[in-house]
Protein backbone atom coordinates (compact mmCIF):
# COMPACT_ATOMS: atom_id res chain seq x y z
CA UNK A 1 0.00 0.00 0.00
CA UNK A 2 1.03 3.58 -0.55
CA UNK A 3 1.25 6.17 2.20
CA UNK A 4 -2.18 7.50 1.24
CA UNK A 5 -3.69 4.01 1.13
CA UNK A 6 -2.34 3.27 4.61
CA UNK A 7 -3.93 6.45 5.96
CA UNK A 8 -7.24 5.61 4.26
CA UNK A 9 -7.11 2.06 5.67
CA UNK A 10 -6.68 3.39 9.19
CA UNK A 11 -9.48 5.89 8.65
CA UNK A 12 -11.77 3.14 7.34
CA UNK A 13 -11.21 0.98 10.43
CA UNK A 14 -11.78 3.89 12.77
CA UNK A 15 -14.85 5.08 10.86
CA UNK A 16 -16.48 1.76 11.67
CA UNK A 17 -16.21 2.65 15.37
CA UNK A 18 -17.32 6.27 15.11
CA UNK A 19 -19.61 8.34 12.88
CA UNK A 20 -17.58 11.50 13.52
CA UNK A 21 -14.65 10.84 11.24
CA UNK A 22 -16.16 11.96 7.94
CA UNK A 23 -14.82 10.96 4.53
CA UNK A 24 -11.42 9.42 3.86
CA UNK A 25 -8.63 11.83 2.85
CA UNK A 26 -7.67 12.24 -0.81
CA UNK A 27 -4.10 13.30 -0.01
CA UNK A 28 -1.58 13.19 2.83
CA UNK A 29 -0.96 16.91 2.29
CA UNK A 30 -3.11 19.76 3.58
CA UNK A 31 -5.30 17.77 5.95
CA UNK A 32 -6.72 18.98 9.25
CA UNK A 33 -8.46 17.46 12.23
CA UNK A 34 -8.44 13.68 12.57
CA UNK A 35 -7.17 13.12 9.02
CA UNK A 36 -4.12 15.25 9.73
CA UNK A 37 -3.53 13.18 12.86
CA UNK A 38 -3.79 9.93 10.89
CA UNK A 39 -1.23 11.16 8.37
CA UNK A 40 1.17 11.77 11.26
CA UNK A 41 0.27 8.54 13.07
CA UNK A 42 0.99 6.38 9.99
CA UNK A 43 4.29 8.16 9.36
CA UNK A 44 5.41 7.64 12.95
CA UNK A 45 4.16 4.04 13.08
CA UNK A 46 6.34 3.12 10.10
CA UNK A 47 9.39 4.77 11.67
CA UNK A 48 8.68 2.95 14.95
CA UNK A 49 8.44 -0.45 13.27
CA UNK A 50 11.70 0.05 11.38
CA UNK A 51 13.41 0.88 14.68
CA UNK A 52 11.76 -1.97 16.58
CA UNK A 53 14.46 -4.44 15.48
CA UNK A 54 18.04 -4.02 14.31
CA UNK A 55 17.78 -7.20 12.25
CA UNK A 56 14.88 -6.58 9.85
CA UNK A 57 15.69 -8.34 6.61
CA UNK A 58 13.70 -5.79 4.62
CA UNK A 59 16.25 -3.15 5.63
CA UNK A 60 19.25 -5.15 4.41
CA UNK A 61 21.03 -4.03 1.27
CA UNK A 62 24.21 -4.73 -0.67
CA UNK A 63 26.76 -2.19 -1.72
CA UNK A 64 30.11 -1.79 -3.43
CA UNK A 65 32.78 0.74 -2.52
CA UNK A 66 36.09 1.59 -4.13
CA UNK A 67 39.24 1.44 -2.04
CA UNK A 68 41.53 3.70 -4.03
CA UNK A 69 45.22 3.02 -4.53
CA UNK A 70 47.37 4.64 -1.87
CA UNK A 71 44.73 4.86 0.86
CA UNK A 72 43.63 2.57 3.68
CA UNK A 73 40.20 4.01 4.58
CA UNK A 74 36.75 4.17 2.98
CA UNK A 75 33.50 5.69 4.20
CA UNK A 76 30.38 3.56 3.58
CA UNK A 77 28.20 6.46 4.76
CA UNK A 78 28.87 8.04 1.36
CA UNK A 79 25.94 5.88 0.29
CA UNK A 80 22.94 8.08 1.24
CA UNK A 81 20.79 5.24 2.59
CA UNK A 82 23.58 3.59 4.62
CA UNK A 83 23.14 3.27 8.39
CA UNK A 84 25.41 0.49 9.65
CA UNK A 85 27.39 -2.45 8.35
CA UNK A 86 26.21 -6.07 8.57
CA UNK A 87 28.92 -8.65 9.16
CA UNK A 88 28.43 -12.35 8.50
CA UNK A 89 30.13 -15.09 10.49
CA UNK A 90 30.69 -18.07 8.23
CA UNK A 91 32.55 -21.39 8.40
CA UNK A 92 34.39 -20.48 11.57
CA UNK A 93 36.48 -17.84 9.80
CA UNK A 94 35.17 -14.96 11.87
CA UNK A 95 33.31 -11.95 10.59
CA UNK A 96 34.35 -10.53 7.25
CA UNK A 97 33.61 -8.53 4.11
CA UNK A 98 34.92 -9.32 0.63
CA UNK A 99 37.35 -7.73 -1.79
CA UNK A 100 37.37 -7.98 -5.58
CA UNK A 101 40.84 -7.92 -7.06
CA UNK A 102 40.33 -8.61 -10.78
CA UNK A 103 36.60 -9.06 -11.26
CA UNK A 104 34.02 -11.44 -9.74
CA UNK A 105 36.25 -14.53 -10.01
CA UNK A 106 38.90 -12.99 -7.75
CA UNK A 107 36.78 -12.37 -4.65
CA UNK A 108 38.64 -12.79 -1.34
CA UNK A 109 37.64 -12.32 2.29
CA UNK A 110 38.89 -9.49 4.48
CA UNK A 111 38.65 -10.41 8.15
CA UNK A 112 37.12 -8.05 10.72
CA UNK A 113 39.25 -7.10 13.74
CA UNK A 114 37.60 -5.14 16.60
CA UNK A 115 38.91 -1.60 16.79
CA UNK A 116 40.90 -1.81 20.08
CA UNK A 117 42.75 -4.93 18.89
CA UNK A 118 43.28 -3.44 15.42
CA UNK A 119 44.61 -0.21 16.92
CA UNK A 120 47.17 -2.06 18.98
CA UNK A 121 48.12 -4.52 16.25
CA UNK A 122 48.30 -2.39 13.12
CA UNK A 123 48.20 1.35 13.70
CA UNK A 124 51.47 1.53 15.66
CA UNK A 125 53.63 -0.28 13.12
CA UNK A 126 54.56 2.72 11.03
CA UNK A 127 54.24 2.32 7.24
CA UNK A 128 51.72 -0.40 6.39
CA UNK A 129 52.03 -1.51 2.80
CA UNK A 130 51.36 -0.94 0.06
CA UNK A 131 49.71 -4.31 -0.48
CA UNK A 132 46.43 -6.20 -0.67
CA UNK A 133 44.47 -5.78 2.59
CA UNK A 134 43.59 -8.88 4.56
CA UNK A 135 42.05 -7.34 7.68
CA UNK A 136 39.90 -4.33 8.48
CA UNK A 137 38.21 -2.58 11.39
CA UNK A 138 35.39 -0.12 11.94
CA UNK A 139 36.61 3.21 13.26
CA UNK A 140 34.62 5.08 15.93
CA UNK A 141 33.27 7.43 13.23
CA UNK A 142 31.99 4.49 11.14
CA UNK A 143 34.67 4.46 8.44
CA UNK A 144 36.37 1.21 7.45
CA UNK A 145 40.15 1.05 7.85
CA UNK A 146 42.30 -1.69 6.36
CA UNK A 147 45.54 -3.15 7.63
CA UNK A 148 47.49 -2.21 4.48
CA UNK A 149 47.55 0.84 2.27
CA UNK A 150 46.10 -0.36 -1.03
CA UNK A 151 48.63 -1.08 -3.74
CA UNK A 152 45.93 -0.72 -6.43
CA UNK A 153 42.20 0.09 -6.59
CA UNK A 154 39.98 -2.59 -5.03
CA UNK A 155 36.22 -3.10 -5.06
CA UNK A 156 34.91 -3.70 -1.54
CA UNK A 157 31.60 -5.55 -1.20
CA UNK A 158 29.53 -5.00 1.95
CA UNK A 159 26.11 -5.79 3.31
CA UNK A 160 24.50 -3.02 5.31
CA UNK A 161 21.37 -1.85 7.08
CA UNK A 162 19.55 1.00 5.39
CA UNK A 163 18.44 4.14 7.17
CA UNK A 164 14.84 4.28 8.36
CA UNK A 165 12.53 5.41 5.56
CA UNK A 166 10.23 8.40 6.15
CA UNK A 167 6.96 8.45 4.24
CA UNK A 168 6.31 11.88 2.72
CA UNK A 169 4.28 11.79 -0.50
CA UNK A 170 0.98 10.11 -1.42
CA UNK A 171 2.62 7.35 -3.46
CA UNK A 172 5.51 6.56 -1.13
CA UNK A 173 5.49 2.86 -0.23
CA UNK A 174 7.02 1.28 2.88
CA UNK A 175 10.16 -0.68 2.00
CA UNK A 176 8.88 -4.01 3.28
CA UNK A 177 6.67 -6.68 1.66
CA UNK A 178 3.12 -5.44 1.20
CA UNK A 179 1.65 -8.43 3.04
CA UNK A 180 2.99 -6.85 6.24
CA UNK A 181 1.63 -3.34 5.69
CA UNK A 182 -1.36 -3.78 7.97
CA UNK A 183 1.11 -3.93 10.86
CA UNK A 184 1.69 -0.21 10.23
CA UNK A 185 -2.04 0.54 10.29
CA UNK A 186 -2.67 -1.33 13.53
CA UNK A 187 0.46 0.14 15.14
CA UNK A 188 -0.77 3.66 14.31
CA UNK A 189 -4.18 2.89 15.82
CA UNK A 190 -2.90 1.20 18.99
CA UNK A 191 0.19 3.28 19.77
CA UNK A 192 -1.05 6.70 18.63
CA UNK A 193 -4.78 7.04 17.97
CA UNK A 194 -6.05 5.14 21.01
CA UNK A 195 -3.64 6.64 23.50
CA UNK A 196 -4.79 10.14 22.52
CA UNK A 197 -8.48 9.36 23.06
CA UNK A 198 -10.36 9.09 26.31
CA UNK A 199 -12.46 5.98 26.75
CA UNK A 200 -10.67 4.00 24.00
CA UNK A 201 -9.43 1.22 26.27
CA UNK A 202 -11.76 -1.51 25.03
CA UNK A 203 -11.17 -0.68 21.37
CA UNK A 204 -7.41 -0.48 22.00
CA UNK A 205 -7.41 -3.95 23.58
CA UNK A 206 -9.09 -5.41 20.50
CA UNK A 207 -6.85 -3.50 18.12
CA UNK A 208 -3.76 -4.61 20.02
CA UNK A 209 -4.64 -8.25 19.33
CA UNK A 210 -4.52 -7.45 15.60
CA UNK A 211 -1.29 -5.47 15.94
CA UNK A 212 0.41 -8.24 17.93
CA UNK A 213 -0.63 -10.83 15.36
CA UNK A 214 0.69 -8.76 12.44
CA UNK A 215 3.94 -7.97 14.26
CA UNK A 216 4.52 -11.62 15.18
CA UNK A 217 4.17 -12.61 11.52
CA UNK A 218 6.58 -9.82 10.60
CA UNK A 219 9.16 -10.98 13.17
CA UNK A 220 8.81 -14.61 12.09
CA UNK A 221 9.47 -13.77 8.44
CA UNK A 222 11.83 -10.83 8.62
CA UNK A 223 14.28 -11.36 11.51
CA UNK A 224 17.32 -13.55 11.00
CA UNK A 225 19.38 -14.06 14.13
CA UNK A 226 22.31 -15.44 12.10
CA UNK A 227 23.29 -11.95 11.01
CA UNK A 228 24.82 -9.67 13.62
CA UNK A 229 25.12 -5.92 13.41
CA UNK A 230 28.52 -4.78 14.55
CA UNK A 231 28.51 -3.51 18.11
CA UNK A 232 25.14 -5.03 19.01
CA UNK A 233 25.93 -8.61 20.00
Task: Examine residue 230 and state whether it is found in any structural domain, yes or no.
Answer: no
3-state secondary structure of 179: helix
pLDDT value of residue 214: 96
63 and 147: one domain?
yes
**Domain count along the chain:** 2
143 and 72: one domain?
yes
pLDDT value of residue 24: 86
Q: List average pLDDT for each run of 10 residues in the chain, which is 233 residues long.
A: 97 78 88 93 98 92 93 91 83 79 81 88 67 92 93 93 96 97 98 92 95 95 61 36
Beta strand extents in 51-208 (DSSP E only): 60-67, 73-74, 82-89, 95-100, 107-112, 135-138, 144-146, 154-162
Task: Examine residue 233 and state whether it is found in any structural domain, yes or no.
Answer: no
pLDDT value of residue 226: 38
Task: Examine residue 231 and state whether it is found in any structural domain, yes or no.
Answer: no
Task: Check: CB of residue 143 under 8 Å from CB of residue 73.
Answer: yes
pLDDT value of residue 233: 33
Task: Examine residue 195 and state whether it is found in any structural domain, yes or no.
Answer: yes
197 and 153: one domain?
no
pLDDT value of residue 27: 95
152 and 183: one domain?
no
Task: Examine residue 193 and state whether it is found in any structural domain, yes or no.
Answer: yes
pLDDT value of residue 12: 92
148 and 203: one domain?
no
pLDDT value of residue 124: 55
Full domain range(s) for residue 139: 59-162
66 and 145: one domain?
yes
Task: Examine residue 63 and state whether it is found in any structural domain, yes or no.
Answer: yes
168 and 188: one domain?
yes
Look up the pTM and report it: 0.83
Burial state string for 137-159 with b = 16 or more CB within 10 A and e = fewer than 16: bbeeeeebbbbbbbeeebbbebe
Amino acid sequence: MTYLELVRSAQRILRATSDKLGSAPESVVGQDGINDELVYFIQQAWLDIQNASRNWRFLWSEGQLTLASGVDTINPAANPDYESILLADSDGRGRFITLLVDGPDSETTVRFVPYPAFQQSYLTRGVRGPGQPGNFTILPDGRLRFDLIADRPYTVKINYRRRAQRLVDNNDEPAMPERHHMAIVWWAIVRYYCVTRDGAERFRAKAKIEMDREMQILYNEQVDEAIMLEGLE
